[in-house]
């Protein structure tokens, strides 16, 4: 008879070795959030700039169509921040029309050095999104992180948020971030990672993996710069083998095929681009060899 402790140890070992990528119904690729095992799609969406359209009724309707395309393709995670002007309000407007219910995985941020103002921002965000609770609350660019960690842990204990995260971009403050990932009780880290900016591979991604953190890749297109750069090159014949009809999908598949990356959050203002981008969350991901070839193409541009 297997002793209980031995059984638990071998079950844990099996979980460690089990591939973290799964193809679910409709061949949508999901990965698990390490701390809970909850599975999420590998393509979410960002909202800086693209959703900052204020009161413009026509632009709001167009963004609601972007959200409609996102949810229709099985999308879940939407990332925003008080830093992104009217984006949270415009997301809330779209959610009010579409009512995605529990298909939504809401992710926003606290963006202030003041702990008190951070609490107010949280309440504002809930109102703007039209939600009582948020799935993921992140500390934007490490600002005021020591104070906010305490508040976020209280919020989590009170059931107001499910996950706690921290974000950075452009390779800023990577040393500080690495220490935070090693020492703080976080669930998620968000950082810039794409085929043209692979700095995070050296230390942050291994640190996140070692500490059981889910990783969100922001800037998967380097703000469209990568798409512009690569689009004059012909799409290689292997692209169709991994289900890609265009470079944006290849770039997204590159980002989310890193074993430590859980999801990428491309931003778009166009429903047609959303349809294209969501297709990157289906079918096959590039293996290690193909990842090297994609990186080499980008490096040579």
Ligand X SMILES: NC(=O)c1ccc[n+]([C@@H]2O[C@H](COP(=O)([O-])OP(=O)(O)OC[C@H]3O[C@@H](n4cnc5c(N)ncnc54)[C@H](OP(=O)(O)O)[C@@H]3O)[C@@H](O)[C@H]2O)c1
- Interface with ligand X (CB under 6 A): 46-50, 79, 140-141, 167-169, 190, 218-224, 227, 248, 265-270, 273, 276-277
Question: At closest approach, how far in Å is the CB of 43 from ligand X?
Answer: 11
CB-wise, 211 or 249, nearer to ligand X?
249
Question: At closest approach, how far in Å is the CB of 251 from ligand X?
Answer: 9
Question: At closest approach, how far in Å is the CB of 235 from ligand X?
Answer: 13
Question: At closest approach, how far in Å is the CB of 151 from ligand X?
Answer: 18
CB-wise, 70 or 207, nearer to ligand X?
70
Question: At closest approach, how far in Å is the CB of 142 from ligand X?
Answer: 9
Question: At closest approach, how far in Å is the CB of 124 from ligand X?
Answer: 17
Question: At closest approach, how far in Å is the CB of 12 from ligand X?
Answer: 33
Contact call for residues 143 and 133 (beta carbons, < 8 A): no
CA distance readout (Å), 75 to 45, 55, 190, 280: 8, 25, 18, 11
CB-wise, 252 or 260, nearer to ligand X?
252
């Amino acid at each position: 008879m297997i002793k209980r402790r031995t059984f638990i140890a071998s079950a844990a070992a099996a979980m460690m070795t089990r591939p973290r990528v799964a193809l679910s119904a409709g061949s949508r690729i999901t990965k698990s959030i390490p701390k809970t095992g909850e599975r999420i799609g590998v393509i979410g969406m960002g909202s800086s700039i693209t959703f900052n359209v204020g009161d413009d009724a026509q632009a709001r309707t167009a963004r609601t169509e972007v959200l409609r395309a996102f949810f229709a393709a099985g999308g879940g995670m939407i990332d925003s921040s008080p830093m992104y002007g009217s984006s949270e309000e415009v997301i809330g407007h779209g959610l009010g029309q579409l009512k995605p219910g529990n298909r939504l995985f809401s992710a926003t941020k606290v963006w202030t050095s003041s702990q008190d103002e951070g609490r107010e921002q949280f309440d504002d965000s809930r109102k703007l999104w039209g939600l009582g609770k948020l799935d993921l609350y992140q500390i934007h660019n490490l600002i005021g992180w020591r104070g906010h960690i305490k508040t976020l842990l209280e919020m989590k204990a009170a059931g107001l948020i499910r996950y706690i995260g921290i974000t950075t971009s452009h390779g800023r403050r990577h040393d500080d971030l690495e220490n935070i990932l090693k020492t703080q009780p976080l669930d998620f880290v968000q950082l810039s990672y794409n085929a043209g900016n692979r700095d995070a591979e050296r230390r942050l991604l291994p640190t996140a993996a070692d500490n059981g953190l889910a990783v969100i890749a922001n800037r998967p297109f380097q703000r469209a710069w990568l798409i512009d750069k690569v689009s004059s090159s012909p799409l290689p014949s292997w692209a169709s083998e991994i289900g890609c009809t265009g470079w944006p999908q290849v770039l997204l598949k590159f980002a989310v095929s890193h074993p430590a990356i859980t999801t990428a959050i491309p931003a778009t203002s166009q429903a047609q681009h959303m349809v294209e981008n969501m297709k990157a969350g289906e079918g096959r991901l590039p293996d290690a060899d193909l990842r090297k070839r994609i990186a080499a193409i980008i490096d040579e541009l």
